[in-house]
A and B are shown apart, each in its own frame.
Chain A
Amino acid sequence: MKKNKKLKRLVLGFLGIAVFLGIWQLAGTLGWVSTKILASPTDVVATFIDKLTNPKPDGSTLPQHIWASLKLALIGFGAACVIGIPLGLTMGFFKGMDHFFNPLFEIIRPIPPLAWIPVILLILGIGTTAKAFIIFVAAFVPCLLNSYVGIKRTRTTLINVAKTSGATDMQIFFKVGLPSALPMVFTGVKVSLGTSWATLVAAEMLSSSVGLGYMIQRGRTIVRSDIIIVGMLTIGVIGAILVFLLSLLEKKIAPWRNKK
């Protein structure tokens, strides 16, 4: 019964993708859209396989692009986690921290990440640091916000249990607040990862000679929609893989949530 359902779901999922690809392919062969403007799926696959080893026409092979982008996104994302999570948790738990940082954060929060680009360029130039910083800015907010809300939602009774057991504030923070907040922290991290991956293209459009964003940008300049699409799909697939890896980690860290 359960296996059947899973199979059905899998089949339907594949069917969805297949129908989409079919229509896309037909659009080209039946001449609805010029294949010059929109490359067909078969072209895209061919380009994908070719790009695995061929640096032409944009200067680097696909793995090189992926590696460059991944490095950039992970630096920005990593920094956002390392700073955003502890800050969010301590702000949510310790009143003084909250009062000190909250007004500042409320002002910074509504500024869209892309609005940071000019000032970042002015200060940091156009190197890797600048690009990583843009990703950091985008990824930082969901990390901080979810950690903050997560720890604030710690059940008062659980805090009271710890207090009546003689726990210190620090023990309550680490043993009660932190584990309570963990599911939301993870949600924040997942959103952050998605955001950093999505901001990548914008960051790499600044100025790059390598990276998936650069590859897409380059594809547009030389009018090669197959390259653009390979770049887009690669971003999509890698984003999905990263989020999947995070869910695995989440299950490992929070085993009590699946022991029903």
Chain B
Amino acid sequence: MAEARKQITVKGICKSFQNQEQSLQVLQDVTLDVNENEFLVILGPGQCGKTVLLNILAGLESADSGTVEFANGTPKYGEIGFVFQRYALFPWKTVLQNVEMHHKFQRVPKKERREQAMHFIRLVGLDGFENAYPAQLSGGMKQRVGIARAYATRSNIILMDEPFGALDAQTRYQMQDEILKIRSAEKTTVIFVTNNIEEAVTLGDRILLMSNKPSSIVREYVPELPRPRQNTDRAFMDLRNVIAQDMDLAL
């Protein structure tokens, strides 16, 4: 692979929380690079601080120590797309209103933001549902709205926090295909968090393995697998097993 341009450089991030007189060290010396336009998967066990790490990248939380540097300057709010864990849709807004929210906050004129939102609603295959409320949608559809909303920011970095974690296996596979399709249509850097090894191997250009709390990045994998990847492939299964062993060791 040609030398990739670094987009984000994360160095020595530490983060702990004070809970009722005891301190909980969550991240300890997390160091990683993110290359432009890569699909980076961060794989880690439950409760290891994956969401905290993404929140720090997005500027929602600040690290106790360490630095996050962006090649194109630190983005302001609204310049990074974020797909949140477990949907996080506004129940009182329709699909369309949820997706166009970003533009509404930026005071983009109605007509323009409608068009933009519809573009991304079509992209995730939800046309016809733009006037539905979240309560009327299935889990997979809700997460499609979350994805459309993140892409509608038109930012070149999109963070995804276990977007398919709450879906059943069937829908999950379907959404994995879908996300790869979307990605080929909209070139962006994706940082994708999951605790599912198979999902990591299916999606990642690169996979970083996180340890248990206090967490840091313990391994890196670059799957040399042609796309679309099949989980019945020999090489796929080998890599999966290697990661599974490493994960056991890391825990």
Interface string of B61-103 (1 = CB under 8 A from A): 0000000000000001111111011101011110000000110
Q: Does B133 contact A (CB under 8 A)?
A: yes
B199 shortest CB reach to chain A, Å: 22
Residues in B with CB closer than 8 Å to A256 are: 91-93, 133, 135
| Nearest B-chain residue to A166, judged by Cβ | B78
A238 shortest CB reach to chain B, Å: 31
Q: Does A21 contact B (CB under 8 A)?
A: no
Interface pick from A103-111, A113-121, A154-162: A154-162
With A160-B55, A256-B92 as known contacts, state yes or no: A171 contacts B105, CB within 8 Å.
yes
A254–B79 CA distance with the chains assembled, in angstroms: 31
Q: Does the CB pair B105–A162 fall under 8 Å? A: yes
Q: Does the CB pair B88–A157 fall under 8 Å? A: yes
Interface string of A172-185 (1 = CB under 8 A from B): 00011001001000
Interface size on B, residues (CB 8 A): 27
Prevailing SS type, chain A contact patch: helix
Q: Does A99 contact B (CB under 8 A)?
A: no
A199 shortest CB reach to chain B, Å: 33
Prevailing SS type, chain B contact patch: loop
In-complex Cβ contact of A259 among B101, B105, B106, B135 (8 A): B135
Q: Does B58 contact A (CB under 8 A)?
A: yes
Q: Does the CB pair B106–A166 fall under 8 Å? A: yes
Residues in A with CB closer than 8 Å to B92 are: 179, 182, 254, 256
| Nearest B-chain residue to A157, judged by Cβ | B88
Q: List 23 A-B contacts (CB under 8 A).
A: A157-B85, A158-B88, A160-B82, A161-B101, A162-B101, A162-B105, A164-B58, A164-B82, A164-B153, A165-B101, A165-B105, A166-B76, A166-B78, A166-B79, A166-B102, A166-B106, A167-B77, A167-B105, A168-B105, A254-B92, A256-B93, A259-B136, A260-B136
A residues near B, CB below 8 A?
155, 157-158, 160-168, 171, 175-176, 179, 182, 254, 256-257, 259-260
